[in-house]
């Protein structure tokens, strides 16, 4: 078996030597720590015959959900709540449970959830409800089959001109374009809108993505207020030791792009 972050799998797919023959003795490929693109999931199966098993957990809760070992592994989702784990989607302001298909805060409760942060009572009170539900800080929804989809972190939500914009929706459009290996969408300061959308793109090896074509594709697929204000090609995206893109570093680096000091 192999456990890896999504970057591991995109890098493997980027190597022409990585074919079905190299994986015929593998039993299972597991992905976690960051959302795996549905496109990566599909390409990996086409190349190797293996369906990656994606799951969802965090330090404070251990494992929360998983696609089944035996059963449908649904691309673009982190699977179903594990036995004994309660998961709900709530409104950030009211805490009210939302309907199936609505995007909100992911909250979990169960024997897997921690008791609190060591010597940090205020942080514990802010994130762990009295009824035992932990506010994960992740935004997501539950689909018609009960599978959980993660759309991003609440701190990465972009508010532009009063509209809520989920970066994941835009990243999916950018990632699907020719020559694009991966992307990150962030909100940066803008004098008129408070924040505006910036897309950062990493090109596939040897490719030169057409930014004009990509912008046209985004315009055709997304509501106008979600259109990137600009697109930039970068060599790589900064990641932490768990493989998660550090968008805080990207926001700091590009904070003056539209509001020069």
Question: What is residue 2's predicted lDDT score, i.e. its pLDDT?
Answer: 94
Tally of domains within the chain: 2
Instruction: Identify which of 201, 185, 171 has the alpha carbon closest to the alpha carbon of residue 251.
Output: 185
Q: Are residues 174 and 228 in the same domain?
A: yes
pLDDT at position 250, please? 97
Please provide the DSSP assignment of the chain as one string: -EEE-HHHHHHHHT-TT--HHHHTT---EEE-SSPPPHHHHHHHHHHHS---EEEEEETTTEEEEE--SSS---TTS--EEPTT-EEEEE-TTT-PBPPTT--EEEEEESTTS-S--TT-HHHHHHHB-TTS-EEEEEEEEE-TTS-EEEEEEGGG-EEETTEEE-HHHHHHHHHTSTTEEEEEEEEEEETTTEEEEEEEEEEPTT----HHHHHHHHHHHS-GGGS-SEEEE-S---B-TTS-B-HHHHHHHTTTSSS--
115 has a pLDDT exceeding 90: yes
Residue 6 has a pLDDT of 86
Which CATH number characterizes residue 223's domain? 3.30.300.30
Listed residues 151, 180, 213: the one ending a domain: 151
Do residue 119 and residue 170 come from a single domain?
A: no
Q: Is the pLDDT of residue 261 over 80?
A: no
Q: Are residues 103 and 162 in the same domain?
A: no
What's the pLDDT band for 36 if we cut at 50, 70, 90? confident
Q: What is the average pLDDT score of the chain?
A: 94
Q: What is the pLDDT of residues 167-201, one digit of tens each?
A: 999 999 999 999 999 999 999 999 889 999 999 99
Q: Is 54 a residue whose pLDDT tops 80? A: yes
- pLDDT of 133 reads 98
Residue in 27, 30, 34, 29 with CA at minimum distance from that of residue 7 = 34
Q: Are residues 231 and 192 in the same domain?
A: yes
Per-residue pLDDT, 5: 86
Which comes out higher in pLDDT, residue 38 or 209? 209
Q: How far apart are CA 43 and CA 28, in angstroms?
A: 16
Pair (165, 65) in one structural domain: no
> The whole model's pTM is what?
0.83
Interval 251-260 mean pLDDT: 90
Identify the band that residue 35 occupies on the pLDDT scale cut at 50, 70 and 90. Answer: confident
114 and 175 fall within a common domain: no
- Boundary of a domain, candidates 151, 179, 213: 151
Give the percent of the chain with pLDDT over 70. 100
**Using 50, 70 and 90 to split pLDDT, how confident is the model at 11?**
confident
| Domain that includes residue 165, residue range | 157-253
Of the residues 119, 151, 183, the one at which a domain ends = 151
Model confidence at 150: pLDDT above 80? yes
Q: Is the distance from CB of 136 to CB of 126 less than 8 angstroms?
A: no
């Amino acid at each position: 078996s192999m456990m890896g972050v999504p970057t591991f799998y995109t890098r493997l797919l980027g190597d022409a030597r990585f074919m079905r023959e190299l994986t015929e003795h593998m039993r299972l490929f597991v992905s976690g720590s960051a959302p795996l693109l549905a496109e990566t999931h599909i390409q990996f199966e086409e190349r190797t015959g293996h369906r990656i098993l994606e799951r969802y957990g965090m330090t404070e809760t251990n494992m929360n959900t998983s696609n089944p070992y035996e059963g449908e592994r649904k691309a673009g989702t982190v699977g179903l709540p594990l036995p004994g784990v309660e998961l709900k989607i709530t409104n950030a302001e009211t805490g009210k449970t939302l309907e199936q298909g609505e995007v909100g805060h992911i909250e979990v409760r169960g024997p897997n959830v921690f008791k609190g942060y060591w010597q940090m009572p205020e942080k514990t009170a802010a994130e762990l409800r009295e009824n035992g539900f932990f506010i994960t800080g992740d935004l997501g929804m539950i689909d018609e089959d009960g599978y959980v989809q993660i759309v991003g972190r609440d701190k990465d939500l972009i508010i532009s001109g009063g509209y809520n914009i989920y970066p994941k929706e835009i990243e999916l459009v950018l990632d699907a374009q020719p020559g694009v290996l991966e992307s990150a969408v962030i909100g940066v300061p803008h004098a008129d809108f408070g924040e505006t959308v910036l897309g950062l793109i990493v090109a596939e090896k040897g490719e030169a993505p057409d930014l004009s074509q990509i912008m046209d594709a985004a315009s055709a697929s997304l509501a106008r207020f979600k259109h990137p204000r600009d697109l930039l090609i970068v060599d790589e995206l900064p990641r932490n030791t768990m493989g998660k893109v550090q968008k805080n570093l990207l926001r700091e680096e590009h904070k003056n792009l539209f509001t020069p000091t």
